[in-house]
Amino acid sequence: MLRAIVSVGRAGPVEHLFVGEREAAVRVPGAILLLDRVRATITVHCAREPEQAALVHPYLWPAAAIFARWRGAETLHAGAFRLPGRDRAWVVIGASGSGKSSLLAALALAGCEVLADDLVVVEGSDCYAGPRCIDLKPDAVSTLPAGPELVSVRASERRRLVLAPCDGVMPIHGFVHLLWDDEVSVATQLPSRRFATLVDHRRVAALGADYAQLLDLAGLPMLCVRRPAARPALNQAAEVLLEALAGRQ
């Protein structure tokens, strides 16, 4: 069990940022996190009282990633979802700005269960659920289908889609790799590229990689979803992806 402690009024006794085998100091917007592996504590040092919404995300995802790697799990810059009525998850990976959160929000509004956004913790062939929310940039919201009202968070820089509770752990069926292109398309990723794609999208590089686990994961299916950067292509990409996945489980 991890314990989070908020220390307001100072930046914390940190000379430099680092990630070690027993302790870590990392910076997030407006705060510094001090992590202690032995004590299982996360101390949030910040100049002013943080919003509770910001503590949930994005303050605690770096801490979750580092503690997961300390435990031996792999961590991916990714989200995850499952199709309605299915019992296995698809992990959505992509570079920053590739539209992971927007696609996951569109899938959630289409009836899929979103397990995680921005960080996926993997142990063996299972992935773990994350905070029950998706934070979106304001300009991404207008392209989404009609849905529940979104909450302004992080000093109004994001609009939060609140997610329902879900199972804490789920087997992985495969991966979806997001890429930009001139047209919307879905294709199977070449086996020779799957391992490199997973390695390229790991979190917490400072603690090394579990290459054996990544090789096992590379044996699972991986689809490449390409779409234009223009926002209207988002819903089309979600529809094409759902059609491609419908017969795969």
- When divided into structural domains, the chain yields a total of 2
Q: Which residue has the higher pLDDT, 28 or 196?
A: 196
Residues 95, 183, single domain; the answer is yes
pTM across the whole model: 0.92
Q: How many residues are given for the chain?
A: 249
Domain with 55, as residue range(s), is: 3-71
Q: Cβ(62)–Cβ(33) under 8 Å?
A: yes
CATH of the domain at 168: 3.40.50
How far is Cα 3 from Cα 42, in angstroms, rounded to an integer?
6
Per-residue model confidence as pLDDT tens digits over 83-118: 999 999 999 999 888 889 999 999 999 999 999 999
Per-residue model confidence as pLDDT tens digits over 32-78: 999 999 999 999 988 888 888 888 888 888 999 999 999 999 999 99
Residues 33, 78, single domain; the answer is no
Residues 150, 61, single domain; the answer is no
Neighbours of 85 (CB within 10 A): 8
Per-residue pLDDT band at 80 (split at 50, 70, 90): very high
Residue 59's pLDDT is 83
Per-residue model confidence as pLDDT tens digits over 125-184: 999 999 999 998 887 777 776 667 788 887 677 889 999 999 999 999 999 999 999 999
